[in-house]
Every structure is written in structure tokens, then in C-alpha cells.
Amino acid sequence: MLKVADGVGGTMVKLFIAGLRFAILFPDSPFIPRLPAGFRNYYSISFIFRALCLHMEPELYSAFGLDAHCPALPFGPGLINTTWKIDCGERSYILQRINDKVFPHPAQIVENMCALGSYLEKTAPAYPFIKPLPAKDGSRLVHLEGSGYFRLTSFVDGSHTLRVAEDPDMAYEASRQFGHFMRLLSGFPAGRLHATLPGFHDLGLRQAQFESALVRGDALRIAEAGELIHAIRRFACIPERFERIRNDRQFILRVTHHDSKISNVLFDGQGKGICVIDLDTVMPGRFISDLGDLLRTCLSPVSEEERDYGLVAVRPAYFEAIVRGWLDEMGDELSRDELDHLVYAGKFMCYMQAIRFLTDYLLHDPYYGSDYPGHNLVRAGNQIVLLERLAEKEAMLNDLIKRY
């Protein structure tokens, strides 16, 4: 139990702790001071909460055989799992708690990673595939009653991640990394992987969830989102096209990453890609998911978090770099029908992310949570503006890549 001193200092500490508790319980409260946008992801209330949480878990350190004195700090901007970096002198690790409200069978994730890891050890031994490390009892997933499921991986020394692509070369590198990953695994029977999140990028399912939220969701929020819903309706051709793709046998089921944003690529000090990370959603899928999420997250100079929609833009040089990076790896693997859907891939992912954010908003944010009131509405609007910008430039972008 924490013992707090008396006197003015003690009162200040008690007030701080009370404030922190309030912030954790009511993160959306208008009484909680807002941090500047750039800091929000790394230094938000949830960041402080995560930092405090790990110190409550000494059993976890012991299960993985980690020295209890190694400091752990919250790491990365992920929305679903909780991530810490643990520094133990020479070696550093990444510890993740798998969100088992989202992933119903965390063991399947680890099984997928081990199956892919063993395959790559044989077929591409030079690829630095990041496999979960065994705990003291040999298992690669530790379950702590009441705390959840945890896995540990090595931190790749000298690596870093990027939140946004700072120039087209970085976008090229990121794209090439995801294309490389898919190509290396093109001989792996995708159907052998568990679908860790069934229906994850099934736009038909996402559309049905959206339609249901429009009926069951909060009436005030539905009214507030009226204009956005209208804008979404104008893109009905995107889910319609997906239904045709679903039945098109030329759209091959491949080992697909399903979260191919630039922040899931490790870069070295020279700006070269090392490998891809965040492998929870690697499962059978279509290439439009991976090329699409690269386009969604790299085309604009600002991320899905940006509230000033005037800053959302589609940069043709980045489009070209991403498509080039993708085709340099996957060009020979793609079928004719797939090659005809390069721009569609980006539209597909922007559309799906917009309706996922909006669905969550209408249902009071059960999936993504929110750092401020209206957060998921803002994100959904941002993604629709990005989709509009992309659709406006579609013909020009297609011209740009004709020669590839």
C-alpha cells in the first residue's frame, strides 16, 4: 500500500492521486485537461494508466524470467492491445497484453505466429521474423488470472517505427516490406492459419454492423452524424464492388497482414525497412487489405487522428511510391483482376475504416474507446474526407501507374 506523507506536500500528492483516479474512471470528462494533439497518443491518460499497471504484475516478470528491476514503459500508439517496452541492460523486449475482448482466442495468434515462423525459418532464414519468446514453462503465451494474456518478443536493436511517412522513400520502404512479407508467404497454405478475428475485413459484415448501428445506436449521435452518413451513402459502390471481389476466384486468398500501416514496419537507422510487426491479424485475406491500409495511412500528410480536415490530402508522389514498392515485390504474384484494383484497395480501406469508427461512435465507443468526446466521429469524418480526396484523383492516379 502506498503511504503518503502528511502536511502540504502530502495533501498535494493525495490530490494528484485523486485526480488521476478520476481521470482513469472518467477519461472523457471535460474536467480532464487536454494534451496537445501530437502528445495525446503517447502521453494520454491511458499512457499513465499503462505505466502504473505493469508495476502491479510482478508475477508476469517472473513467468517470463525477467529481472524484476527492469523498467517497463508504455510503447507505441496501438488502439487494441497494450504494449510496453522493457529495458534489461543489454537486451530490450516488447511485452504485449492481448485484448481478449477483441481476440476471443489469443492462443490462436501465437499458434499462427509459430506456424509462420517455422515456415520462414526454412524458406527465408534471413528474414527477421519476430516470434514470441518462450516463458519459463516453455509456453509462448502467459495467462494471468484477472490480468489477461501476455506475450513477449525481442526488441530489435537500433529499430524504430514511424507514425507517418515523412517522404515518398519511406512510403516505398513500408510498402515493399508488406509486399515482401506477403510474397515470402505466398507458398504457405493460407487456409491453415486460424482466422484470429473472423470476418475482420469482410466489408459485407462491416456494412451490416453499420446498418444495425444506424437502427440500434444512440439517436442523438445518429442525428449528429447525419451529414457524414449521407457522405458515406455516396460511396455505396465500394461495398457493392466488394461483393463481386468476394466471388472472384482471381482474388486469391493470401497470407495477409490486415494492419499494414506504416507504424507496423520496423526501420533501421538508415531508413531501410527491417520487417513488419503486429502480427495478430495475420490470417487468410485479400491483397486489397494490405495495399489498401498502406494507402490509407501514407497518402495523407496527417493521420486518422487529425481534426482539421483541411489538412487531409492525397499526395500523388506517395501513391506512386507505395504502388511501386508493392509491385516490386508482388507484381508477378498478382492476377489481372487484382492488378485492376490498386486504387480500389485504398478506397476500400478508407471506407471500411470510416464505417468502423462511425459504427463504434453510434454505439458509444465500445471497441476503440475515445480520448475525448466525439473522438470516433472525428476519425470517421477524417477517413471519409480522405476517401473523397482519393476518389477525386482516381483517374490521375491510375494514369500515374499505367507504366508499371
The site for ligand GN1 (CB under 6 A) is made up of 78-80, 102, 259, 278, 281, 304, 353
Closer to Mg ion by CB, 63 or 354: give it. 354
Q: Which does 290 bind (CB under 5 to 8 A by kind): ligand GN1, Mg ion, none?
A: none
Backbone angles phi, psi at 95, to 5 degrees: -110, 135
Query: Using CA atoms in the order 358, 345, 277, 385, what is the torsion angle rounded to 10 degrees?
Result: -40
Interaction of residue 290 with Mg ion, rule CB under 5 A? no
What burial letters (b/e) apply to 166-204, b meaning 16+ CB within 10 Å?
A: eebebbbbbbbbbbbbbbbbeebebeebbebbeebbbbe
Backbone angles phi, psi at 289, to 5 degrees: -65, -45
Q: Which is nearer to Mg ion, 259 or 365 (CB)?
A: 259
Distance CA 386, CA 383 (A): 5
Residues 99 and 176: their CA atoms lie apart, in Å, by 29
Provide the 3-class DSSP secondary structure of residue 130.
coil
Residue found under cell 494492419: 259
Closest approach of ligand GN1 to the CB of residue 246, in Å: 19
**Least spacing, CB of residue 290 vs ligand GN1, in Å:** 12
Q: Name the residue number minimizing CB distance to Mg ion.
A: 259
293 binds Mg ion (CB under 5 A): no
Question: How many residues of this chain bind Mg ion (CB under 5 A)?
Answer: 2
In order, the DSSP letters of 186-218 are TTS-GGGS--SSTTTT-HHHHHHHHHHHHHHS-
Closest CB to Mg ion among 278 and 290? 278
SS3 track for 136-154: CCCCCCEEECCCEEEEEEE
x/- letters, 237..276, toward Mg ion (CB under 5 A): ----------------------x-----------------
The residue (of 196 and 359) whose beta carbon lies closer to Mg ion is: 196
Task: Give the shortest CB-223-to-Mg ion separation in angstroms.
Answer: 32
Q: Confirm or reject binding of residue 278 to Mg ion (CB under 5 A).
A: yes
What is the closest distance, in whole angstroms, from the C-beta atom of residue 281 to ligand GN1 in the complex?
Answer: 6
CB of residue 78 vs ligand GN1: minimum separation in angstroms? 4
**Of ligand GN1, Mg ion, none, which one does residue 117 interact with (CB within 5 to 8 Å by kind)?**
none
Over the Cα atoms of the chain, what is R_g? 22
In the complex with ligand GN1, the residue whose CB is nearer, 79 or 114, is 79
Q: How far is the CB of 103 from ligand GN1 (least distance, A)?
A: 7
Q: Summarize as ranges the residues that interact with Mg ion (CB under 5 A).
A: 259, 278
